[in-house]
Structure 1
Amino acid sequence: MTLKQLEAFYWAASAANFLVAAERLHVSQSTLSKRIAELEAHLREPLFDRSGHRAVLTDAGEQLLPLARRMLGLADEMRSLAAGGAGLRGHCRFGVGELAALTWLPDLVALTRSRHPELVLEPQVDLGQALERRLESGELDFAVVAGYSSRGAIASEAIAQVRFSWAAAPALVGAQRAVSARLLQDTALVTMPPAAGPARMLEHWLAVNNLEAGRRLTCNNLAAIASLVAAGVGIGLFPNGWLRRMEERGAVVELRSRPALPTLEYTFQWRRDDSRPLLARMREAVAATVDFSKPSPLW
């Protein structure tokens, strides 16, 4: 047997389907299937039951999976030792939200390039719930998401905290500098979609304080939300780093709220069954660069 065959088997068994596994390995689906068939021929055992709508592991496949994971992990360690600490190789596909993409993602990419020049990074920007689904299906190696995952297959580790504050265009609120029930009823609330972490945090805050928004305008782009709020379309909430820059330019004013908006905790998420050295190294790189307080270059 070969490591390529074991790698094909591992990802086919771990990912949502053979197509996702092939994409992870950057090979065609036919090449992936050929490698698995070669491994099955070598072991003289079928590893997948292909009789149904979706291929599932046989008993032999279930027994082989943890062994294949260990062998691939040992192979990674051997490559690292042979390289004399030269760094990781291969591909790393990971997910972040738009806030991360507009603040610390460039720093993460730069640091990883310096530490692991032969590692190809493939960042994916999406909403938190979508990133969790893609992580569980095997499409991503890890993700940095607001909150802790409720999915049993995903592990979450706290990596950063973000403070948000309310903001509005000066002309929209005049001398009023507080968020009230009347303001929420009379003024549009401009927010991210419900699947985004800040939107979920906001909904919880509204429910706990028995408040309701009269009108809503949902947008999946933070820069566009900032422009809409600055134009006086409605009120919104922003990370404090963004808000400071917007205030300095005179685009918005900060609004007080009692109680204040809660801190939003972001976590580094990965699949519990994935123990590759890649994840520990990337977790270190994220911890060294994560900084949601940086002002956006767009504002």
Structure 2
Amino acid sequence: MNIRFLETFVTLAQLESFRATARALHATPAAISLRIRSLEDELKTELVDRSTAAFRLTPAGQSLLLLAKNVVDAALALREAAVREVEVGGKLRLGVIETVVHSWLAHYVTHLNATFPHIEVDLTVDSSSVLQRRLLSGELDIAIRLEGIDSTQIVSSAIASYPVRWIAKRGMLSPRAHDLALRVLKRPVLTFGRGTAPQVALQSIVHMLARQAGMPTEQIRITCSPSVAAIVQLVRDGYGVAGIPSLIVSDALQSGEFVELPLRPMPPPIVVSLCLPVNASPMVRAAADAAHVACSDYCMPMRKELIEAL
């Protein structure tokens, strides 16, 4: 069985879009569709319900998704174990976006140190655009950033999909208000750096909500920041409402400091990709496989929530 096709199926189930999956895996939607068709032929069952315009897995697809993910994880673990048979060590120049720092980075570094104790991590935290430039120039070995890199020199693979929610300080707005959209739009809307995929998607949604509410778009205030810490602090100060992954503020949500607003539509999930050179060394490839395993372990509760919502 082609593991690549299983990886495509898992990514498609996470993103719920052939087009988004194609972007994440740097393929065409037609290629993604062909992989899914090939997998369905091999399994002799339909995985995606094509009778409706909205993306939906078939009952068989839902029941097989977790098994497919387990196979993908097992394949990564197998490659990781094979590499461990050879001494793996050296300096790993790792670049990550801040969203990763606020979620599964510590889990990854801990896993990496335990699995490959002779790898020394040299960490860089920066924006996706800077990480891309530094990876292409040879200054980094791995870049974990928003979406993949379209280059023949780079191999990109989707490593995580973060559901995005509308987050506000408790008490700032009533979630039950009948005019919730208008109340949100009267506040600054916080999002990631200008020009990034999350910012562009959120801006489109905000403008649509404004038209529906009869609010002039020039009155909308969108505050962009590449810093997750800055966005979270502005929410904490009651400055505005943020469209960010709930995963990075899970502690504040659990404590009741922040709340999720039931505003629809929700912004699309943020796709995080792992990028490395096509000619990467065995050490770098081992570290990349370890990242997939560590991220999968960390995000498993979130993935189960997505599967239950399908």
Task: With the length of structure 1 as denominator, give the TM-score of the two structures.
Answer: 0.61
Give the CA deviation at 1:181. 5.2
Distance of 1:198 and 1:187 partners within structure 2: 19
Residue of structure 2 equivalent to 1:256: 262
Bigger share in helix: 2
1:149 corresponds to which letter in structure 2?
I
Residue of structure 2 equivalent to 1:221: 227
Distance of 1:175 and 1:84 partners within structure 2: 51
Residue of structure 1 equivalent to 2:161: 161
Name the CA shift for 1:136/1:251 in 2 (closer, same or farther; >3 Å): same
Distance of 2:224 and 2:190 partners within structure 1: 6
Query: Are 1:285 and 2:290 an aligned pair?
Result: yes
1:286 corresponds to which letter in structure 2?
A
Matches within 5 A, 1:126-205: 126-176=126-176, 182-194=182-194, 196=196, 198-203=198-203, 205=205
Distance of 1:179 and 1:137 partners within structure 2: 50
How many matched pairs?
213
Name the CA shift for 1:168/1:121 in 2 (closer, same or farther; >3 Å): same
CA deviations over 1:106-150 (Å, ceiling 9, x no partner): 122122222222221112111112111111111111111121223
Distance of 1:137 and 1:84 partners within structure 2: 29
Residue of structure 2 equivalent to 1:276: 281
Which one has the largest radius of gyration? 1
Give the CA deviation at 1:264. 2.0
Distance of 1:266 and 1:91 partners within structure 2: 23
Task: With the length of structure 2 as denominator, give the TM-score of the two structures.
Answer: 0.59
Report if aligned partners of 2:160, 2:273 keep a CA contact under 8 Å in 1: yes
RMSD of aligned alpha carbons? 3.1
Stretches of structure 2 lacking an aligned partner (at least 5 in a row): 1-81, 212-216, 303-310
Report if aligned partners of 2:168, 2:240 keep a CA contact under 8 Å in 1: yes
Which SS does the other structure have where 2:244 is aligned?
A: strand
Percent of paired sites with the same residue = 23
Name the CA shift for 1:141/1:177 in 2 (closer, same or farther; >3 Å): farther
Give the CA deviation at 1:204. 5.0
Give the CA deviation at 1:222. 1.8
CA deviations over 1:13-48 (Å, ceiling 9, x no partner): xxxxxxxxxxxxxxxxxxxxxxxxxxxxxxxxxxxx
